[in-house]
Amino acid sequence: VQLQASGGGLVQAGGSLRLSCAASGRTIGSYAVGWFRQVPGKEREFVAARGWSGDWSYYADSVKGRFTISRDNAKNTVNLQMNSLKPEDTAVYYCAARWGFGSSQFSVPSTYDYWGQGTQVTVSS
């Protein structure tokens, strides 16, 4: 599975961005998907995850109520709608996919098998 993230950019605080992650090579319909982010010098941080059938979704406390993860299995894509952005949301955002585990350890990066290349999100104050 190859994942390609896009949609990042520069936005003012309070604005919105929509990240997309396109999968190729294999359908990700049976994979759980997640979004993580990372800033220089820090570990990769969990943002959001969603089950393969959409039966569960989890969010980091820092983004709950502002971000929404969605998936379109027919189009083999995963999206992250980010609203009310804050400067502390600035990071490189990565999409990821994994098979198995169910909803356990959804926030642990090492449980994900496939990663996109990352897209930069910069929120100015």
- DSSP H helices, 75-120, are none
Per-residue pLDDT for 101 more than 80?
Answer: no
Q: How high is the pLDDT of residue 50?
A: 94
Band of pLDDT at residue 38, cut at 50, 70 and 90: very high
CA distance 23 to 66: 25
86 burial type by CB count under 10 A (0-12 exposed, 13-18 middle, 19+ buried): middle
pLDDT of residue 53: 83
Residue 109, helix vs strand vs coil: helix
As a whole number, mean pLDDT of residues 70-82 equals: 93
Q: Is the pLDDT of residue 72 over 80?
A: yes
